[in-house]
Amino acid sequence: MAQDVDEQAPGIGPAPLASGHGGASHDGHPSAKQYIRIGIVLAVLTGLEVWLSYSGITGALLITALLGAAMLKFVLVVLWFMHLRFDDRRYARFFLMGLAGAVTLYLVVLMVFGVFKR
C-alpha cells in the first residue's frame, strides 16, 4: 500500500505517515545479527551485575555500579529493541515526557521522606 508523497499538497489535509518504523518501511533498522549482538551485551551486563552483588564490594560504589549497569541495559533496550534510535523523534519525546516526569516526581518524594539520608 504505497502512497506517492508528491500527491500530498503541502500543509493541506492529513500528513502522510512518516517513513521508518511507524509504517511498514523497515529501512535503517538493525539486522538480526545486530539484535543478537545487543542481546549478548545485555547478558554480559546482567552477569556483571550478579558478579558485583557477590563481589564483596559494598556501599555507594556497589549501588552506583549496579544502577549504572541497569541504566545502560535500560537505554540499550529502549534505543535498539524498541527502536527509538531509528524512529521518529516524537515517539522518544512522548516517552521521555512520562519517564522524566516519573523520575523527577519520585526523586522529590524520596528526598522529602529522607530516604537518601538513611
Partner 1 sequence: MADTTVTTAPDEHTTTGLPNTKLAMWLFLASECLLFGALITTYLLYRGQSLVGPYPADVFDIAYTSVSSFVLLASSLTMVLALSSAQRGDAIRMRLWLLTTAFLGMSFVGGQVYEFTVFYEEGLSITTNLFGTTFYVLTGFHGVHVTVGILMLLSLVGMSGANRLPDDPSFPVEMVGLYWHFVDIVWIVIFAVVYLVPTPNPA
- Tell me which residues touch partner 1 (CB under 8 A): 1-6, 13-19, 21-26, 29-32, 35-36, 38-39, 42-43, 46, 49-50, 52-54, 58, 62-63, 66-67, 69-70, 73-74, 77-78, 80-83, 88, 90-91, 94-95, 97-99, 101-103, 105-106, 109-110, 113, 115, 118
**Smallest distance, Å, CB 70 to partner 1?**
4
Can you tell me the distance from the alpha carbon of 2 to that of 24, in angstroms, rounded to the nearest whole number? Answer: 10
The residue behind cell 535500560 is 74
Closest CA to 86 of 36, 35, 11, 42: 35
**Smallest distance, Å, CB 36 to partner 1?**
7
**Smallest distance, Å, CB 83 to partner 1?**
8
Can you tell me the distance from the alpha carbon of 36 to that of 48, in angstroms, rounded to the nearest whole number? Answer: 18
**Smallest distance, Å, CB 21 to partner 1?**
6
Can you tell me the distance from the alpha carbon of 32 to that of 26, in angstroms, rounded to the nearest whole number? Answer: 13
Quick one: DSSP state of residue 83? -
